[in-house]
């Protein structure tokens, strides 16, 4: 028996990889190492049902499943280092784990405002009332701070920011969203869909300020008091949620000496088309990994749930020696739940694509995205069936004129 697989990162990617390895017949030891104390859980509900107190932690598998499948869960553990020559992982307290194959699934770190944008030059993370929303503990802390009438400012109108704003509003907070881009979800879906998302929020009492950024986060006695915007206006706040993006957690990869991808193509750990890194026996997957295509071109670091799931299958087959070539094109899919509306996105829509609204009824709509006359994606709100049936049409690179 060899030393097996050690997976650093017990999120969706790491947990699904362990599951897929067993399904592929891999019988060697598997160790799954997580920084958090909770068993692997689903992150999308954090900004929605978990924040609103409607659900508790949403485990990906019951704890006994790992024991039943002989997967060693090592939680609340921060990996101290890796010795590639000795093939061992330092997990602290003088303990190390041997491995035959190492997989990095370390995910993302949320961005904070720079010290220069915080009154007194303090670290935003150290100010009471300033929150990010990446972990289960983050969601519990924000839930505890949210109450009827609390003044909340959400910085960033991306998916996490909009979802958090909706949940806080439902909880009774007075919510303002601040976004320097011209519209909500602008980078992902552009101004046409962004305007519809803004209306969804404003119709329910949320104030949306676009085209304006944060000049300074203000605080007194170690607690947040508000936001000064770069147009000179100010917003009083009892709590501030930072939804300004994330960065790949590459610190461990850097200490090992793995190649990283350039930020211009998404950053993260550079991998080939099946997740192999620049070091023998080391793979990476999930939000931290930038997979190349068969030509070696990078730019495939995609932060979507289904993308991670697909990568876990590929890496599992590569490690288990059951590589399966698929002729079916991967069509990306992601979604966001805001208030009572599910917005689904299929394919690879871009902010500067042409947008064709083909169906609308109040907040509900269906839109086709196209580039150079070819369908690139479908976005729908309250149109689940209509979106999902378009998967083969998107995969076929259908001329959009054939659909209008």
Select 112-244's CATH number: 3.30.70.240, 1.10.10.10, 3.50.50.60, 1.20.1180.10.
3.50.50.60
pLDDT above 90 for 224: yes
CA 94 to chain centre: 33
- The confidence score (pLDDT) of residue 300 equals 66
Q: Average pLDDT in the 316-333 region?
A: 77
pLDDT above 70 for 323: no
Interval 275-318: pLDDT, tens: 999 999 999 999 999 998 766 565 668 888 888 999 999 999 99
8 Å CB contact between 47 and 164: yes
Q: Which alpha helices (H) appear in 352-402, and where do they start and end? A: 384-388, 391-395
pLDDT grade for 266, boundaries at 50, 70 and 90: confident
pLDDT above 80 for 79: yes
Domain ranges across the chain: 5-109+247-320, 112-244, 340-402
8 Å CB contact between 376 and 369: yes
CA 355 to chain centre: 25
How far apart, in Å, are the Cα atoms of 178 and each of 108, 135, 185, 216, 236? 23, 22, 12, 13, 13
Tell me the percentage of the chain whose pLDDT exceeds 70.
Answer: 96
Interval 176-201: pLDDT, tens: 999 999 999 999 999 999 999 999 99
> Which fold does the domain 5-109+247-320 belong to in CATH?
FAD/NAD(P)-binding domain (3.50.50)
Going by C-alpha positions, the residue among 295, 91, 266 that lies closest to residue 284 is 266
pLDDT above 70 for 208: yes
Computed over every residue of the chain, the mean pLDDT equals 93
Q: Which alpha helices (H) appear in 86-224, and where do they start and end? A: 136-145, 159-170, 186-202
pLDDT above 80 for 119: yes
pLDDT above 80 for 28: yes
pLDDT above 70 for 328: no
The DSSP symbol for 329 reads P
Residue of higher predicted confidence among 93 and 99: 99
- The confidence score (pLDDT) of residue 122 equals 80
**Complete DSSP assignment for 237-255:** -SEEEE-S-EEE--HHHHH
- The confidence score (pLDDT) of residue 149 equals 92
How far apart CA 374 and CA 191 sit, in angstroms, is 20
Tell me the percentage of the chain whose pLDDT exceeds 90.
Answer: 86
- The confidence score (pLDDT) of residue 283 equals 98
CATH of domain 340-402: 3.30.390.30
pLDDT above 90 for 16: yes
Q: Please, which contacts does 266-273 make with residues 24 or more away whose CB atoms are closer than 8 Å? A: 266/290, 266/298, 266/299, 266/300, 266/301, 267/301, 268/301, 269/104, 270/298, 272/296
- The confidence score (pLDDT) of residue 298 equals 57
Interval 334-361: pLDDT, tens: 999 999 999 999 998 999 999 999 999 9
- The confidence score (pLDDT) of residue 378 equals 97
- The confidence score (pLDDT) of residue 331 equals 83
How far apart CA 180 and CA 210 sit, in angstroms, is 6
Domain pair 5-109+247-320 / 112-244, same fold: yes
**Cβ count within 10 A of residue 361:** 10
């Amino acid at each position: 028996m060899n030393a097996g697989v050690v997976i650093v990162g017990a999120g969706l990617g790491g947990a699904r990889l362990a599951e897929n390895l067993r399904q592929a017949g891999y019988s060697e030891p598997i160790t799954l190492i997580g920084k958090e104390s909770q068993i692997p859980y689903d992150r999308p509900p954090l900004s929605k049902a978990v924040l609103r107190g409607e659900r508790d932690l949403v485990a990906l598998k019951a704890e006994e499943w790992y024991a039943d499948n002989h997967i060693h869960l090592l939680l609340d553990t921060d990996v101290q280092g890796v010795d590639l020559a000795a093939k061992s992982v330092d997990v602290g307290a003088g303990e190390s784990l041997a491995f035959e194959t190492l997989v990095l699934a370390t995910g993302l770190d949320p961005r904070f405002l720079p010290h220069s944008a915080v009154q007194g030059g303090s670290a935003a993370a150290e100010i009471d009332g300033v929150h990010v929303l990446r972990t289960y503990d983050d969601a519990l802390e924000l839930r505890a701070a949210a109450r009827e009438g609390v003044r909340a400012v959400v910085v960033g109108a991306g998916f996490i920011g909009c979802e958090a704003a909706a949940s806080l509003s439902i909880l009774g907070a007075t919510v303002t969203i601040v976004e320097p881009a011209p519209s909500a979800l602008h980078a992902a879906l552009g101004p046409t869909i962004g305007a519809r998302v803004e209306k969804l929020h404003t119709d329910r009492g949320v104030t949306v300020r676009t085209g304006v950024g944060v000049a300074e986060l203000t605080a007194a006695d170690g607690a947040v008091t508000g936001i000064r915007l770069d147009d000179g206006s100010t917003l009083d706040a009892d709590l501030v949620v930072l939804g300004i993006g994330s960065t790949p957690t590459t610190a461990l990869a850097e200490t090992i000496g793995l190649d990283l991808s350039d930020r211009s193509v998404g950053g993260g750990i550079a991998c080939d088309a099946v997740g192999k890194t620049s070091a023998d026996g080391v793979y990476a997957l999930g939000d931290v990994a930038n997979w190349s295509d068969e030509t070696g071109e990078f730019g495939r670091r995609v932060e979507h749930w289904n993308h991670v799931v697909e990568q876990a299958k590929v890496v599992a087959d590569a490690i288990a020696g059951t590589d399966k070539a698929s002729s079916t094109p991967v069509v990306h899919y992601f979604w966001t739940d805001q208030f009572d509306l599910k917005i689904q996105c299929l394919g690879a829509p871009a902010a500067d694509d042409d947008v064709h609204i083909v169906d609308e009824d109040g907040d509900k709509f269906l839109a086709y995205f196209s580039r150079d006359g070819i369908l690139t994606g479908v976005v729908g709100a309250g149109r689940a069936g209509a979106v999902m049936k378009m998967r083969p049409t998107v995969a076929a690179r259908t001329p959009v004129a054939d659909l209008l």
